[in-house]
Structures are given as C-alpha cells and as structure tokens.
Chains A and B, each alone.
Chain A
C-alpha cells in the first residue's frame, strides 16, 4: 500500500499504525496539545487551525460526536487527494482514528466525491483490513472502550459539497446548501452533533505529527504555515503532477521543479489568485500566495481572458443558488467579462463590476461566493494589457438601459 514517493513530511516514511499506537500511549489531552502545538492548518484551502477545531469538539459535551474526512476535492486543477486516496488511504484513516480518539467520536465518514467512485472498492478493502487488524471497531489496539468505525459516503457531482456545512447537509440527506455560520460544525455539525471536518491531506499529516512530534513538524514551513503542502501542478509544464513542497517555496522554484518554461501566469485554481511572472517571487503559504493545492501554469501564448471566463463559467454552474450575491453576481461578472473580451466594456462599468466583486466577497454566505470573484479581479488587475476598455463613457449607450 505504501507508495514509493519521497518527501519531507507527508511522503516521509512512517511505520504502519505508529501514529495510533503513539496516540494511545500519550492520551487524549496530549494528542490535542500536540496537534495544536504543531500549528497544522486545514489543507482544504481555508487554513483553519486543525488543533483549535479538535479542541472545540473534544471540549463539547455531547453523547455523540463525528469525524468527517472531506474527500470532495473539486477545485479545478487539484488532484492531490486523488493520489492520497489511492496511495495513502490507510494513513488518512489513521489520522481520522487519532481524531476520534482525541475527541471521543465514535463514528466517522469519508465523503468521497462522485468522480472518485472507482476508488470505492480499494478504500473499502483498506477499511475491511483495518477492522480485521482491530484498528477499527471495538477496543481499538486493545484500548478498552475505544470504539470507532468509518463509513464511506459518495458525493454526486456537486462542487459546493466540499464546503464543510454543505458537505454535512449532503451527509444528512439534503441539498448540499451551505449553512449560516455560526454555529459551526464543531458545535452543531452532522445531525446537530459536534463534528470535525478536515481535508484528506490534513488527516494524512496527523500520524506524522503524533509520531514525530509538533516541534519536528514545525521545523518545516514558515512561521504561520507550518509543515509542507501537496501541490498539484498542471497546465503548461513538462512534468505535471503532485509535489510535496515546504511552505515558503517561491512560485519560481516550484515552476523549475515542474519543468515549466516561458510562463506567463500561475493560478491557484478557480477560487485562488492568478499572478503574472512579475510576482513569481511570492511564496506559497497561507500568508502570501495561498493555494488549496491547485497550481495551474499558463504559458506565454495563453489568453488570460479565456482563463477568467472558464473559471466564471465553472462557478456559474456550481453556485448552489441559495444566496443572492453569489447567484446573481456570478452571471453579471460572466457577462461583463464577455463585454471586456469584445472591447465593449466602458471604464465606468468595469468599476461597477469590481465593486460588485467586493460585495460578493463580503456578502456571500460561503466560500464559493466569496472566492468566485477572486480570479476575475486578479486577472483584470494583473493583465491589463490583455484587454481594451471601450471609449464610450456613457454606459447607457452600450446597454440601452
């Protein structure tokens, strides 16, 4: 099962079950403080400290608690979870078991995106094996009263279910429409019970942290982004694929690793920033160039307006339609962009579009609507020479009211 990949943290060597064994030896409180001390932040993109999440769930008084692994990887240009699910599933489940041990949860879900349905037999086999080896089920590793089991649930092709409250709605059997937050899932998650929702990559980090220590983990990365990141590099490069890089690596260095030459721009996926070559000295980390895993490389001949259009088209289809700024805002940006492409957009109207983008970022209910304008704004700001604004100053002339 263990793959031959090599890396500093996630792809580093670790013995099977070393993490759980160590966790059981350490006890709940110490596991919690270790995860908190490691500064591990959620790898799905939002970067919320996992330790805080875990502590909140552990502290909650409830007869039931849940651990959910978010494998609804849907961000365009991201495929790191695909690699983890197919090569490191056991380590990921181990991370979930440690979370259950630390917080007192007795049931876990793996929410697997529908696109990865073909991994189900493999994942079920891994779970079955773990039940036989008594790392799932009753009295895990001989620890009396430590019960935990994991069920796999499939998504059905909805990007929005990668948002944690949308995911929980979907698990409960509803439309995957995100909830208002607060209350957060750590208080009222699945069926109203305290729930941890973490990304696949976050869970894969856990056994390493528990076995090798928070200090070791913190020796990688930057001050505010400890550890390493799996980036999925795709687009115009010689060697697309998943790379484990330390937080703090510059875009330029990463491009070199992936064999990309004559690069015009790099995007952190549809909900991330898109930056031109002049900014390739920026660092990949939460405090600078933040990515949930997607790094799309655009060569010198690519049209950035087409890129923005593709991203907006994606959001137009994936918006759940629940809240107004997102549902109504995205089509307006999309139409605005086609005007810009045709050179028919007056300066005043572009200003309106940028102001609408700001409204969407502030007023949308969930991350989808808040991030949807991001690529639009960054492409408009960073690639001014790729479009021409219309000289017409009165927008009435263009829009006929």
Chain B
C-alpha cells in the first residue's frame, strides 16, 4: 500500500500510520489560544512529545495563517478581503480602523493590544463589510461601529 501519511512505522511489511500525530494541530491551536503565538520552545516541546523533528512542527505551524510563531496583539481584527466585502466598502472600514488605532493594516498597536489584518472571505458576505474580531464574526460594520468595537477590546 502506498504510504499515505507522514509519520508511522512499517509493521510486517505494511506501513502503519501513527495516529497520535493527528493531535498535533489541536495542540498547536491550544498553545496559540493560550499564548497568542507558538514559540521555538513550544515547537521543541511538541517535537519531543510527538517524536518528530522540530522543523516538522514548524512546517505545520507556519502553513496555517491563524497559527503564527510571531506574537500578535492581544486582540486580532481580521477584515474580510473578498470582493463582496470590498464592494460593500471594507476598504473604507479598514481606513477607519487604521485611523482610530493609529496603525496600518498588518501592524500591531504599540501597547500590543490590537493587531489589524486582512483575511480571506470569512463567510459573512451577506452582512458585508464584516470582520473577524478574535473568534467572533461581526457584520454590517459602519464607521460608528468601528469605535465601539475598539472600545470593547480592552
């Protein structure tokens, strides 16, 4: 049988997948939720736990755009970048956020409180312009709402 998963061992001539490996991404997500990033030390610890090279952990972690080795702000605002949102004025909303936070999209405020980003379609096109504020989906954002959102993110 063709080898179909990355980690495992050959038993009696048949490749058997290491099913524990399946837990790697939930572990990464857990660390990310707690600390806001995945540090080199965390990657090394996970590598030891799963019996793989730290580079492999790094390769998995960096594949996913919501997992990052670089620390972001305490809160992350991700503005949906799909065409429906742009047509509904998401760029204008982005400018409002930039103005209110004093940063450009892709940056973090100096007090490390808020990171502003763009993201691919978040599935809120019927309520565009929309954004993902940490884990919550927020739709129909107006200039007025921008200030309220920022106020809430203490």
Residues of A participating in the B interface, judged by any CB pair closer than 8 Å: 73-79, 81-82, 113-118, 153-159, 170-177, 179, 183, 188, 191-192, 232-236, 240-242, 267, 270, 296, 298, 302, 306-307, 310-311, 313-314, 317-318, 320
Contact across chains for A157 and B83 when beta carbons are under 8 A apart: no
Chain B proximity of A259: nearest CB distance (Å): 13
Q: How far is the CA of A79 from the CA of B19 in the complex (A)?
A: 32
Indicate if B37 sits at the interface (CB-CB under 8 A): no
What per-residue 1/0 map shows which CB atoms of B12-38 lie under 8 Å from chain A? 000111010111111011000000000
Q: How far is the CA of A298 from the CA of B66 in the complex (A)?
A: 30
Interface of A is mostly: mixed
Given A78-B123, A232-B125, A317-B120, is A156 in contact with B29 using a C-beta cutoff of 8 Å?
yes
Given A77-B121, A175-B60, is A183 in contact with B26 using a C-beta cutoff of 8 Å?
no
Indicate if B122 sits at the interface (CB-CB under 8 A): yes
Chain B residues with CB under 8 Å of A117's CB are 135
Residues of B participating in the A interface, judged by any CB pair closer than 8 Å: 1-2, 4-7, 15-17, 19, 21-26, 28-29, 50, 59-60, 63-67, 81-84, 86-87, 119-128, 132, 135-137
Q: How far is the CA of A270 from the CA of B21 in the complex (A)?
A: 33
Choose among A79, A171, A183, A240 the residue that contacts B2 (Cβ–Cβ < 8 A): A183
Contact across chains for B132 and A77 when beta carbons are under 8 A apart: no
Choose among B63, B119, B137 the residue that contacts A176 (Cβ–Cβ < 8 A): B63
Choose among A74, A116, A170, A235 the residue that contacts B83 (Cβ–Cβ < 8 A): A235
Chain B residues with CB under 8 Å of A81's CB are 123
Contact across chains for A296 and B125 when beta carbons are under 8 A apart: yes
Specify which of B16, B21, B60 lies most central, judged by the most chain A CB atoms within 10 Å of its CB: B60
Q: How far is the CA of A74 from the CA of B7 in the complex (A)?
A: 28
Total cross-chain contacts (CB, 8 A) = 146
Given A117-B135, A191-B5, is A77 in contact with B84 using a C-beta cutoff of 8 Å?
yes
Chain A residues with CB under 8 Å of B124's CB are 79, 82
Given A81-B123, A158-B65, A232-B125, is A174 in contact with B6 using a C-beta cutoff of 8 Å?
yes
Contact across chains for A156 and B126 when beta carbons are under 8 A apart: no
Chain A proximity of B137: nearest CB distance (Å): 6
Q: How far is the CA of A138 from the CA of B81 in the complex (A)?
A: 44
Contact across chains for A118 and B137 when beta carbons are under 8 A apart: yes
Chain B proximity of A59: nearest CB distance (Å): 17
Q: How far is the CA of A236 from the CA of B86 in the complex (A)?
A: 11
Q: A156-B28, A235-B125 are in contact. List 5 more A-B contacts (CB 8 A).
A: A74-B123, A76-B83, A76-B84, A156-B29, A232-B126
Given A235-B84, A296-B84, is A174 in contact with B5 using a C-beta cutoff of 8 Å?
yes
Given A76-B82, A115-B123, A173-B22, is A157 in contact with B66 using a C-beta cutoff of 8 Å?
yes
Contact across chains for B22 and A159 when beta carbons are under 8 A apart: no
Chain B residues with CB under 8 Å of A159's CB are 120
Chain B residues with CB under 8 Å of A192's CB are 1, 4-5, 15-17
Chain A residues with CB under 8 Å of B136's CB are 118
Contact across chains for A235 and B122 when beta carbons are under 8 A apart: no
Which residue of A has the minimal Cβ distance to B21? A173
Contact across chains for B83 and A77 when beta carbons are under 8 A apart: yes
Chain A proximity of B65: nearest CB distance (Å): 4
Chain A proximity of B118: nearest CB distance (Å): 9
Chain B proximity of A121: nearest CB distance (Å): 11
Which residue of A has the minimal Cβ distance to B60? A175
Choose among A188, A241, A306, A311 the residue that contacts B126 (Cβ–Cβ < 8 A): A241
Contact across chains for B24 and A173 when beta carbons are under 8 A apart: yes
Chain B proximity of A229: nearest CB distance (Å): 16
Contact across chains for B23 and A76 when beta carbons are under 8 A apart: no
Contact across chains for B22 and A191 when beta carbons are under 8 A apart: yes
Chain B residues with CB under 8 Å of A179's CB are 4
Contact across chains for A79 and B87 when beta carbons are under 8 A apart: no
